[in-house]
Chain A
Amino acid sequence: MSENRDRLVTAAASISVDRPAGVAGLVAGLHRDPVTARLPIEAVALPPVPDRQNGRLLISALLAVPTADRTRVHRPFGTVTWNPSDGSVVQLSEWGTELPETVTGAERTDTTWPLPESEDRMRTVCAALDELAAGRTPNLTELYRSALPSQAIAWYQALVPAAVPWLPDQQTWALPRHTDVGSALGGWIRDVAAIAAETNAPALGAQLEMLAEQRMRPGFRVAVVGEFNKGKSTLVNRLVGHEVVATGPVPTTALFVVVMAEDAASGSVRTAGDHEIAVPCAWLATIDTELVDTPGTNEAGEDRTPEVRRAVTLSDAVLLTVSATSPLSRSERELIAQEVLRRHVPFFAVVVGFLDQLPPEDRAAALSSVRSKVQQLAPETPVLTSPGPVGGEDELVAIRDLIADYAKKNEDRRWRTNKIASAVADIAEAVADVAGQAAVAAALHDAERTAAVERERAELARDAAMWDGLRVEFETRRRALVRRVSDSLSGDADVLVGALRHELLRAPDPKAYWEHDAPYRLRRELAALAHKYESLVLAGMTSDIEWLDTTLAERFDVVTPTTRPAARLAAPHTPLPEADMTDLSRRKMMTRIGAAGGTVAGYVLAGAVGLAMPPVALAMAGGLAAAILAERSLRNATEGQRQVVDQLLRQAVDAAIAEVTEQAALRIRSLYAEILDGMSARRAAWRRSRLAASAEPTRSATQHSALADRATALATTIRAAVADDCGTSREDS
């Protein structure tokens, strides 16, 4: 018994506990110190602040008890003050449930606060305080932005006046609030750009400019679609309060007219052919939205449906304008069926116009009729009344409110903001690395510096070769995905031919069916197939992006800020999808990739269907086929005639599938290029900047080190804010 006890005691004595030094050690030893050991066992110290008494630098921390789930803390019950030079507790103040009188304002009423959950943040603050104690000047203010809840800032300002110079200004400080990533983003970009300029890293500065341009784009896009002369442009003009797009029965030449608030127009980059109009519209600016006026689907006697579908797949919401004076047309019904039932856009509503052209006593019935027809197709679709060219203020407000509500619910905008913020943090880390490299280079002798430059050149060349190889392999994977999509679509060709033949052989007028019905039926069936294979595309892209992440991690021996996992670039804050995920989770995942709007799968496949031209494929009927189709009915067709019809259908279906496949292939290529180019460009900018910093450090080593610290602190701040925002998003959902 005694021997065993002795062995245990010996084993315990041999255990080495790695206690942190400095301020971190004071925080970690809160319950070990005899003075503070009497505190509640659950008590924690919040990230401490500098304090001064009698000319001595001291460290003070608020004391609080976490809630049971440890996501928040109860309002602090006291403070502890240490002397960092000897580690002693200088003062322990407790006020229990009676609040200190010096604490005033809203912070006094908050009974619980968010608990800064990141141990890393606490360590960073403690390390910065150690630096301060050592006579250096760390950027504590930036660290406190992410490490302290806003209430703690106010309490520290009230209770530890000596800490105020290091604390963020409460008047202008809004970062820790979850929803403020968007409003802080501009300032972060400017701050990182300033440090990049001081570090002489223009290549990284250029990357920041691109992000600034992306940020300026409105976060929500509403397409207004409908047939020619159904009140689209009138509605757009009324919504923005300006005559910005031509109205009336004159077909417009532009494919799209994008209307945005003036502030958002600067720095915009657009596809050639699109028109943009910036208007002074507070409503648009407030809801961070742009409107897209589209050509009529049947404008100028042409079928503009493919272009309109493209607009739809690139938008977050769609308003379909219809007329109360005419029944829902086939194309309107098709649009509702495909876009709403297939859910290619998150938000869809119908706006009924021209009610004023009906006798007043008939208007309610007409509106009811449209609503009934729409809701037969899609029961949840809102049906509103158009305000018309004048008056109709209530109707105008209702539509504006609906759009504002859609924009508010839009998760993509939030994800896009966080994505840009994460990219800014990546670049801030790259700037910190470059500044660190410059600091090292500044301290080197010429010969050593020359060697360092050669090393950087070699790394740059190695990177270039690596990217070339990666591009080839990624292209191979892209081709394989396209082949899988093509094979899948082709595998359904027989079913498609069978369905069309069934209808054709029973059509009372085969020629009329061929010319008028078959194109819509084919497009609809293709849309259904596109929907069917969305998960195939998503699973393929997910797999390829994961491969890219893994390969990058394997081939870059140094993990750098510019090789963040590509998955982060291509997906929002939800996990990448499984092939068999539910519609809901797929809906959440499918969001923008880069500058392209709309949903991933919708963009790749459904959008490709919109661009495919079944009528062209179907126009091939000629010769014998035309003669057969001219028969009044094919019910009694001979076997020979049936074979000709089959052949005709097969040709049409194959051509349409080939068209869809080609369009999908182009889109996948474009998406893959965007992902790879973005990553390689950023890494190349970092490499070039390192090379320049090694060759010609522009400042002293100390100055470069200070720049590196500032950039690191900014990156920490941004990442923390994004992480908080993502956490809130998950809570919201």
Chain B
Amino acid sequence: MIGDFFTDLALDAHNHLNPVDPDVEGAAVVAADSFSPEVEPHGLIHPPHNLCGTDPAVGLHDRTQVVCGVGTPDADAVHWHFQGPEEACAVVSQGSIIESLTGVPFDEAAATRWLEQQGWYDPATGTRPEDVTRLFQAYHVPTASGSTTVGGLWDALAAGDKVMVTLDANEIWHPVHDPATGAPLESLQPAGHAVWLTGIEQNSNGEWKVVLNDSGHQGGRAETVALADFVNAWDDYGNQAVFAGGHAAPLSPAETGART
């Protein structure tokens, strides 16, 4: 059953995840009996919402001032996990998203153990960009990865996809701004971090915020970050994003490198 998925992976990955080679088209035909047929992420995704022009929702974070937005931050906040002292942000972000799609509780320890066994996760050598979707792939979650824009993020959320981005955590946790211009300043020693972007909103003051399920600290559930700080932090990582769910259009190469 799905509930045993991560544990099973850790116990005997080969028995349960036999031919997985996500780099080979069609190879992600994981033995259907070990990956339960209940794995149907599309049907379990919370419907996308667009609050613009409707009553603001009252959720896990105070959105009483929200006048406009996209995404499902309140529903997604339920599936936030804290990664603890481990450098497992990509693992936890993927696992949380998978949990939201399937309803199966995420077991971080089992997942990281399994990924380590596969050579896709090692705290000493870090997580390669090509490995940040391994869990999605193993779990048959359709994904699109690449560089995109803030508009692209909006579109993916609006389409119902879950979005994971890589960014410099220093610049969202401890943002520094130019005292004269107010422009966000770039950190020279980035703290590379993968987070689940659950929404983009505008409040009654006209300020745009992004809502993140950030596994990196205890206050990361439905954390809101000023758009400027997010743009600064995300820009450091080439505006890379992963859209999970298969609703959004494939990322256009033309968008690569563009900010908006």
Report which A residues bind B (CB closer than 8 A): 1, 4-5, 7-13, 15-20, 24, 27-32, 34, 37-44, 65-70, 74-75, 77, 96-97, 111, 119, 122-123, 126
B88 nearest in chain A by CB position: A68
Q: Which residues of A contact B3 (CB under 8 A)?
A: none
A44–B227 CB distance below 8 A: no
Complex contacts, B166 vs chain A, CB 8 Å: 31, 41
9 contacts between A and B (CB under 8 A): A1-B158, A5-B154, A12-B151, A15-B184, A15-B259, A31-B168, A34-B238, A41-B90, A67-B123
Q: Given A8-B208, A11-B208, A65-B126, decide whether A31 and B190 contact each other with a Cβ distance below 8 A.
A: yes
Within the complex, the shortest CB–CB distance from B220 to chain A, in Å, comes to 15
Closest chain A residue to B186 by CB distance?
A28
Q: Say whether, besides A27-B188, A38-B130, A9 and B85 are in contact (CB < 8 Å).
A: no
Known: A18-B185, A68-B86. A12 touches B125 (CB 8 A): no
Across-interface contacts of A40 in B (CB, < 8 A) = 125-128, 192
Which 8 A-B pairs give the minimum distances between C-beta atoms?
A40-B126, A41-B192, A42-B126, A12-B150, A65-B126, A13-B260, A18-B183, A42-B192
> What's the tally of chain B residues with a CB closer than 8 Å to chain A?
53
Task: Evaluate contact between B186 and A19: CB separation under 8 angstroms.
Answer: yes
Contact of B43 with A by CB under 8 A: no
Asked whether, in the complex, the Cβ of A17 is within 8 Å of the Cβ of B235, the reply is: yes
> Shortest beta-carbon distance, B148 to chain A, in Å?
12
Nearest CB in chain B: distance from A208 CB, A: 33
Bound CA–CA A41/B126 (angstroms): 7
Taking a contact as CB atoms under 8 Å apart, the answer to whether A18 and B125 are in contact is no
- Contact across chains for B189 and A44 when beta carbons are under 8 A apart: yes
**Complex Cα distance A41/B166, Å?**
8
B88 to chain A, nearest CB (A): 9
Is B228 positioned at the interface, with any CB of A under 8 Å from its CB? yes
CA distance A43 to B166 in the complex (A): 13
Interface residues of B (CB under 8 A from A): 50, 52, 68, 70, 85-87, 90, 123-130, 132, 149-151, 154-155, 158, 166, 168, 178, 181, 183-194, 200, 202, 208, 227-228, 231-232, 235-238, 240, 259-260
Q: In the complex, which residues of chain B have a beta carbon less than 8 angstroms from the beta carbon of A16?
A: 181, 183
- Bound complex: CA of A1 vs CA of B157, how far in Å? 12
A20 contacts which chain B residues (CB < 8 A)?
A: 186, 188
In the bound complex, residues from chain A placing their C-beta under 8 Å from that of B154 are: 5, 8-9
Quote the shortest CB–CB distance from A9 to chain B (angstroms).
5
B125 CB contacts on chain A under 8 angstroms:
40, 65, 74, 77, 96-97
CB distance from B127 to the nearest CB of A (A): 6
CA–CA, A24 and B189, complex, Å = 10
User: In the complex, what distance in Å separates the CA atom of A151 from the CA atom of B260?
Assistant: 42
Contacts of A39 in B (CB 8 A): 126, 128
**Distance, CA A517 to CA B189, complexed state (A):** 69
Kindly provide the distance from the CB of B15 to the nearest chain A CB, expressed in whole angstroms. 28
| A8 lies within 8 A of B200 (CB) | yes
B85 lies within 8 A of A69 (CB): yes
* A7 contacts across to B, CB distance below 8 A: 68, 202
Chain B neighbourhood of A68, CB < 8 A = 85-87, 123
CB distance from B233 to the nearest CB of A (A): 10
Contacts of A4 in B (CB 8 A): 50, 52, 68, 70, 202
- Known contacts A40-B125, A42-B126, A68-B87: A5-B155 contact under CB 8 Å: yes
Closest to A20 in B: B186
Complex: A18 Cα to B70 Cα, angstroms: 28
Given A4-B52, A43-B126, A77-B125: A15 in contact with B186 (beta carbons within 8 A):
no
The answer to whether A12 touches B259 (Cβ under 8 A) is yes
Chain B positions within 8 Å of A126 at CB level? 188
Residues on A with C-beta less than 8 A from B208 are: 8, 11-12
Residues on A with C-beta less than 8 A from B194 are: 41
Nearest chain A CB to B162 CB, angstrom units:
18
| A5-B155, A18-B185 known, 18 other contacts, Cβ within 8 Å | A4-B52, A4-B68, A8-B151, A9-B154, A17-B186, A29-B236, A31-B237, A31-B238, A40-B128, A41-B90, A41-B127, A41-B237, A42-B127, A67-B123, A68-B85, A68-B86, A97-B125, A111-B124
Q: What's the least CB distance linking A307 to chain B, in Å?
A: 56
Pair B183/A44 contact, Cβ less than 8 Å: no
How far is B133's CA from A425's CA once the two chains are assembled, in angstroms? 50
Distance (Å) between the CB of A706 and the closest chain B CB?
26
In the assembled complex, the CB of B260 is this many whole angstroms from the nearest CB of chain A, namely 4
* B87 (CB) vs chain A CBs: closest residue: A68
CB <8 Å contact, A1 and B52: yes
Residues of A within 8 A of B236 (CB): 28-29, 31-32
Q: Determine the chain A residues whose CB is within 8 A of the CB of B237 once the complex forms.
A: 31-32, 37, 41
Q: Is the CB of B188 within 8 A of A1?
A: no
Task: Judge whether B50 and A65 touch: CB under 8 Å.
Answer: no
Measured between beta carbons, the chain A residues less than 8 angstroms from B90 are 41
Cross-chain contact A5 with B151 (CB below 8 angstroms): yes
Contacts of B240 in A (CB 8 A): 37
Q: How far is B200's CA from A4's CA once the two chains are assembled, in angstroms?
A: 11
The CA of A68 and the CA of B87, in the complex, are separated in Å by 6
Q: Which residues of B contact A15 (CB under 8 A)?
A: 183-184, 227-228, 231-232, 259
**In angstroms, how far is the closest chain B Cβ from the Cβ of A42?**
4
Name the B residues within 8 Å of A9 (CB-CB): 149-151, 154, 260
Interface centre among A37, A97, A123 (most CB of B within 10 A): A37
Q: Which residue of B lies closest to A69 (CB)?
A: B85
Chain B residue at smallest Cβ distance from A75: B124
A residues within 8 A CB of B189?
44, 119, 122
B residues in contact with A19, CB < 8 Å: 186
Closest to B153 in A: A8
Q: A68 vs B85: C-alpha distance in the bound complex, in angstroms?
A: 6
Q: Which residues of B contact A119 (CB under 8 A)?
A: 187-189
Across-interface contacts of B191 in A (CB, < 8 A)? 42, 66, 70
Tell whether, in the assembled complex, residue A17 and residue B231 are in contact, meaning their CB atoms are under 8 Å apart.
yes
Q: How far is the CA of A17 from the CA of B231 in the complex (A)?
A: 8
Q: Which chain A residues lie closer than 8 Å to B168 at the CB level?
A: 31
* Complex Cα gap A27–B194 (Å): 20
Interface centre among B125, B166, B183 (most CB of A within 10 A): B125
- Would A32 and B231 count as touching, CB distance under 8 A? no
Knowing A11-B227, A18-B178, A38-B128 are in contact, say whether A28-B190 is a contact too (CB < 8 A): yes
- Report the separation of the CA atoms of residues A19 and B202 in the bound assembly, to the nearest whole angstrom: 26
Q: Which residues of A contact B186 (CB under 8 A)?
A: 17-20, 28
How far is A1 from B202 in the complex, measured between Cα atoms in Å? 13
A1-B159 Cα distance, complex, nearest whole Å? 12
B232 touches A17 (CB 8 A): yes
Contacts of A97 in B (CB 8 A): 124-125
By a CB distance below 8 angstroms, the chain A residues around B70 are: 4-5
Asked if A1 and B184 sit within 8 Å, CB to CB, the answer is no
- Measured CB to CB, the closest approach of chain A to B74, in angstroms, equals 18
The chain B residue with its CB closest to the CB of A66 is B191
In this complex, what residue of A is CB-closest to B258? A13
- By a CB distance below 8 angstroms, the chain A residues around B127 are 40-42
Question: What is the chain B residue whose CB lies nearest that of A41?
Answer: B192
Could you tell me the distance between the alpha carbons of A245 and B192 in the complex, rounded to whole angstroms? 66
Determine the distance from Cα of A7 to Cα of B68 in the docked complex, in whole angstroms: 10
Given contacts A37-B238, A44-B189, A126-B188, contact A65 B151 (CB under 8 A): no
A1 vs B154: C-alpha distance in the bound complex, in angstroms? Answer: 10
B192:A31 contact, CB within 8 angstroms: yes
What B residues does A123 contact at CB under 8 A?
Answer: 188
Across the interface, which residues of B come within 8 angstroms of A8, CB to CB? Answer: 150-151, 154, 200, 202, 208, 227
A269 CB, min distance to chain B CBs, angstroms: 45
Q: Check A28–B151 contact: CB distance below 8 A.
A: no
Task: Please give the distance in Å from B63's CB to the nearest CB on chain A.
Answer: 15
B201 → chain A closest CB, angstroms: 10
Give the residue among A8, A32, A77 with the most B Cβ atoms within 10 A.
A8
